[in-house]
Amino acid sequence: MTDLPETNTVMVTLVKPEGQLEVYFERRAMPEPKPHEVLVKVLTTPINPSDLGLLFGGADMTTARAGTRDGLPMITADVPPAGMRAMGGRIGDALPIGNEGCGTVVKAGDSPEAQALIGKTVALLGGEMYAEYRCLPLQMVMPLPDGTDPVDGASCFVNPLTSLAFTETMRMENHSAIVHTAAASNLGQMLVKICAKDGIPLVNIVRSDAQVAILKGIGAQHIVNSSDEDFQDKLVAAIVETGATLGFDAIGGGKLAGQILSAMEVAAVKRMTSYSRYGSDTFKQVYIYGALDVGPTILNRSFGLTWSLSGFLLTPFMAKAGMEVVGRMRQRVVNELTTTFKSHYSHEISLTEALNLDTAHAYNAKRTGEKYLIRPHG
Amino acid sequence: MTDLPETNTVMVTLVKPEGQLEVYFERRAMPEPKPHEVLVKVLTTPINPSDLGLLFGGADMTTARAGTRDGLPMITADVPPAGMRAMGGRIGDALPIGNEGCGTVVKAGDSPEAQALIGKTVALLGGEMYAEYRCLPLQMVMPLPDGTDPVDGASCFVNPLTSLAFTETMRMENHSAIVHTAAASNLGQMLVKICAKDGIPLVNIVRSDAQVAILKGIGAQHIVNSSDEDFQDKLVAAIVETGATLGFDAIGGGKLAGQILSAMEVAAVKRMTSYSRYGSDTFKQVYIYGALDVGPTILNRSFGLTWSLSGFLLTPFMAKAGMEVVGRMRQRVVNELTTTFKSHYSHEISLTEALNLDTAHAYNAKRTGEKYLIRPHG
C-alpha cells in the first residue's frame, strides 16, 4: 500500500466550444476507496469500437495533429459543425475513457467484502479505465480465478456480454436462429463459439475471403461474403436453411441491414401458400448495435410490413433481462474466459503510446484481425 | 330477390409472366350465400392507397394503355424486372380488388343471423369490393344504423380502424403523444379528431401550405410543414412541447422517418442531465404504415441507440390487440361515423369509369384532398 504514487494518470477527451477535440492526460490525485470500494491497479484495458466513439467521436481525424501537454503526448483534431451538433451535450467536459479492463486490487475500503479482494485479480466495468488506477464500487468489479492472466481478463464485459445478449434476445423474442454482420470480429468469433455450444444456427456475414478463412478456422457453419457477386442469393439460401428471423448488425450504415430483412422476407415468402400484397406475416427483426459505417442506413423496403429495425445497447438490455439472467451471463463469462470468450490482441501498447498519432490512426482504422490492448504499467 | 342478374361484374388485376399487368373485368356467376353468409349489393367502395398497391403495384404506369375486353374497359401496363421480382407470388393469378365498401343485403343464407340482415345497410371488409355484388360471411359485415348514407358507410374499416389503432398502440406501448406524416389525408384528419376528443397531443407533418390550411380548418394544434426552411427546428419544438416518442409515417421513403427519430432524440437529450455517448435512454418508435414514396428509406442515425423503426399493418395489430379492443374500436366507428370518421370524396365514379385510363392516372396520383369513391350501381 505504501508504495502507491500520489497521482494517477488518466486519459481524457475534451470537445472545446471553438470546434476542437483534444485528447490528453490529466494527473489526478490518487483516489481513496470508500468502505464498499476498491482501488485497482489497471493492468490491461482494450480499445473497443465503443471506446473510439467517445475518444475521437465527431472529429475529423484527417486533421489530427500531435502535441504535448505536461510532458505527455496529446492529440488535437478539428470537429466539423455536424460533429459539434452531435456532441452538444459534452462540450467543455473533459471525459475519461475506457469501458472495461482488468487489474489487481491494491487498496480497499473498510468493509469486509472490499478487504477480501485485496491482492485479487478483478475484471472492471464502468469507464475511466485508460488510467493507471481506477477506484470502483464492489458491484463494478468481478473477481477472477486465481492465476488468471490479466490479458484474458481485459475484455470480460463488452464483447462477452453483448454476444451472450444476442442469444438471450433470440430466446426472449422467440426467434430460433441469428444473422450476424462483421462476423469475423472478436465479438463475432465469441458468438460463433456460443452458438456452436448452444446449438443455435448462425449466419455469419463477412466482407472478405480472409474473414471467411478466420471463421472457417473456428468451425463456423454458415458464412456468406458480402463482396461476392451472388451475395444476396447465398444469404437467402443460408436464411432458408437456418430459419433466421433475427439479425445483429455492427455496421449500421449502407444497405446491409435492409438486405438482411429482404433475404429473411424472401425466405418467409417461400414458406407461404398464398400471395399477400403486404408480404409475409413472419416477423423479422434486425438490431443495429454498432456503427462501423457511420453513413446513412439505406432501406429498400422490399420486405413487407412485418419487420423492425432497432438500435441495440447492452445496458438497457441487461436492465430489461433482469438480475438473474445477467448473473447467469456473467458466471458463464468467468467459466469460459479462456475458451469461448478468449480475445486476441494484435498489438499491446502503453498508455502514452495510445496517444501517439500514428498508433491512434492505426487503431482508429478498426481493421479486422487488429485489436489493441493498453497495458498502463507496461 | 328474383331480380338479381345471373352474373356479377368483378374487377381483377393480373400480372402475366411475360412482364405485363392487366386490369380488367370478369363476369362471374352470381354467388349463392351459404347459411352464415350474406350477398350484398355493393353501393360504394373507396379507392385507398392500399388498393392501388394491389391494383397497379410494380407496374410502370407511364407505359399504361387503354383497351377493352368483353366490351368493358381494360388497362395494360409493362412491369419492369424489379416489379416482377417483387410480385413473384402473384404472377398468373387474376386477383380481385377493393378492401372495403358499403351496400345493401339482398340475399342471405339460411341461418337466422343472416336472414335478419336482409334489407340492411352494412359496411363490408374482406377484399373483392370493386364489383357489383359481394358475398361475405357474417363476421366480415358490420350492420350500420338505419338510414345511413352508403357514402358515409364506404370507408368504415381501413382509415377509421387504422387511425384508432395508432392511439391504441400509443397506450399499449406507453407513449403519450404522436407524430403523424401526410397528416392532411382522410386518415390524418380522422386522427386529428380522435386525438382532440381523447386529449392526445398530436404533431401533424404536412408538406404544403394548402395542407396546413386543411388541418387548421379542423382545429389541429401542432402542424409543421416539411417544405419550410426551418422544418427540423419546428419539428423539434413541437416534439418538445408534446413529448411525442411515437410516430406513424405514411410516406416510407426518403429521410422523414429518420428526421422524426432525430427530432425526438434532440427533445429527449434536452431533458438529460448528463452526457451519454450512446444518446438518450428515451425509447423512440416510428412505424411506417404506407408507401406514398416507394423509394428507399434513408436514416441518418443521429438518434442514439434507443429507437425502433418498424412496419405497421392493421390486421396483425388487431390480432395482437384482441377481440375486446377491436370490438370497442368498431363500435366507436359506428357511433362516430358522420363526425370523427366522416370521409370526404372529391370524385364519384362508376365501376367501368375506374378503368378509364385518364381517370386511373388521376386517382393513382394520390393527390392531397382528392379521394375517389366507386359507385358500382351509379
- B298: nearest CB among A57, A296, A306: A296
DSSP code for B213: H
Among candidates A292, A311, A243, A218, which has minimal Cα distance to A50? A292
C-alpha angle A145-A151-A155 in degrees, rounded to nearest 5: 85
Q: Does B54 touch chain A (CB under 8 A)?
A: yes
What is this structure's pTM? 0.88
DSSP code for A30: P
Give the distance from residue A54's alpha carbon to the nearest chain B alpha carbon, in angstroms: 6
C-alpha separations of A94 from A24, A54, A91, A350, B371 in Å = 9, 11, 8, 21, 58
Distance CA B28, CA B7 (A): 5
User: Which residues is B95 bridged to in the sheet?
Assistant: B13
Give the distance from residue A372's alpha carbon to the nearest chain B alpha carbon, in angstroms: 21
Question: A89 Cβ partners below 8 Å, 6+ apart?
Answer: B269, B272, B275, B276
B87, B97, B233, B299: best to mutate for the A interface, most A CBs within 10 A: B299
pLDDT at res. A2? 52
pLDDT at res. B331? 94
Which residues of B are less than 8 Å from A304 in CB distance? 311
Q: Does B80 touch chain A (CB under 8 A)?
A: no
Are B304 and B265 contacting, i.e. CB atoms less than 8 angstroms apart?
yes
Q: Does B232 touch chain A (CB under 8 A)?
A: no
Among candidates B103, B89, B112, which has minimal Cα distance to B39? B103
Among candidates A126, A78, A76, which has minimal Cα distance to A103? A126
What is the sign of the dihedral through the CA atoms of A192, A194, A198 and A200?
A: negative
Distance CA A159, CA A341 (A): 8
Give the distance from residue A249's alpha carbon to the nearest chain B alpha carbon, in angstroms: 12
Q: Chain B 185-214, CB below 8 Å of chain A: which residues?
A: none
**Do A307 and B312 lie within an 8 Å CB cutoff?**
no
Q: Does A14 touch chain B (CB under 8 A)?
A: no
In the numeric block, the cell 438529460 is attached to B272
Question: B351 Cβ partners below 8 Å, 6+ apart?
Answer: B9, B11, B25, B130, B131, B132, B374, B376
**Do B252 and A301 lie within an 8 Å CB cutoff?**
yes
pLDDT at res. B378? 83
In the numeric block, the cell 390487440 is attached to B321
C-alpha angle B197-B203-B208 in degrees, rounded to nearest 5: 115
Among candidates B245, B287, B285, B234, which has minimal Cα distance to B269? B245
Burial label, B342 (beta-carbon count in 10 A; 0-12, 13-18, 19+): middle
Among candidates B64, B100, B53, B20, which has minimal Cα distance to A275? B53
Q: Does B288 touch chain A (CB under 8 A)?
A: yes
Give the distance from residue A113's alpha carbon to the nearest chain B alpha carbon, in angstroms: 31
Distance CA A55, CA A76 (A): 11
Which residues of B are less than 8 Å from A296 in CB distance? 258, 298-301
User: Which residues is B288 bridged to in the sheet?
Assistant: B249, B311
- Return the CA Rg of chain B: 22
Distance CA B113, CA B134 (A): 18
pLDDT at res. A85? 80
Q: Does A137 touch chain B (CB under 8 A)?
A: no
Are A286 and A301 contacting, i.e. CB atoms less than 8 angstroms apart?
no
Q: Which residues of chain A are modeled with pLDDT < 50? A: none
CB atoms within 10 A of CB A286: 26
pLDDT at res. B2? 52
**Do B258 and A306 lie within an 8 Å CB cutoff?**
no
A267 Rama sector, left if φ>0, alpha if ψ -120 to 50, beta otherwise: alpha
Question: B364 Cβ partners below 8 Å, 6+ apart?
Answer: B52, B56, B61
Distance CA A156, CA A135 (A): 18
* Amino acid present at A212: V
Question: A159 Cβ partners below 8 Å, 6+ apart?
Answer: A48, A186, A187, A190, A341, A343
3-state secondary structure of B187: helix
Nearest CA in chain A to B271: A89
Are B306 and B280 contacting, i.e. CB atoms less than 8 angstroms apart?
yes
B54 alpha carbon, distance to own chain's centre: 12
**Do A301 and B310 lie within an 8 Å CB cutoff?**
no
**Do A306 and B311 lie within an 8 Å CB cutoff?**
yes
Distance CA B187, CA B173 (A): 21
**Do A301 and B308 lie within an 8 Å CB cutoff?**
no
A269, A305, A308: best to mutate for the B interface, most B CBs within 10 A: A305
**Do A316 and B281 lie within an 8 Å CB cutoff?**
yes
Which residues of A are less than 8 Å from B308 in CB distance? 308-311
**Do A278 and B313 lie within an 8 Å CB cutoff?**
yes
Strands (E), A30-171: 37-46, 60-69, 72-78, 95-96, 100-108, 121-125, 133-137, 141-143
**Do B297 and A302 lie within an 8 Å CB cutoff?**
no
Burial label, A221 (beta-carbon count in 10 A; 0-12, 13-18, 19+): middle
Which residues of A are less than 8 Å from B53 in CB distance? 277
C-alpha separations of B25 from B7, B10, B13, B68, B154 in Å = 12, 5, 9, 9, 21
Question: A229 Cβ partners below 8 Å, 6+ apart?
Answer: none
Give the distance from residue A287's alpha carbon to the nearest chain B alpha carbon, in angstroms: 9
* Amino acid present at B193: K
pLDDT at res. A172? 96
Give the distance from residue B118's alpha carbon to the nearest chain A alpha carbon, in angstroms: 32
Q: Does B281 touch chain A (CB under 8 A)?
A: yes
pLDDT tens for the 378 residues of chain B, in order: 558 999 999 999 999 999 999 999 999 999 999 999 999 999 999 999 889 989 998 899 999 999 999 999 999 999 999 888 878 778 999 999 999 999 999 999 999 999 999 999 999 998 999 999 999 999 899 999 999 999 999 999 999 999 999 999 999 999 999 999 999 999 999 999 999 999 999 999 999 999 999 999 999 999 999 999 999 999 999 999 999 999 999 999 999 999 999 999 999 998 887 777 778 889 999 999 998 898 999 999 989 899 999 999 998 999 999 999 999 999 999 999 999 999 889 999 999 999 999 999 999 998 877 899 999 998
* Amino acid present at B359: T
Distance CA A303, CA A268 (A): 10
Distance CA A135, CA B127 (A): 67
Give the distance from residue B103's alpha carbon to the nearest chain A alpha carbon, in angstroms: 25
pLDDT at res. B302? 87
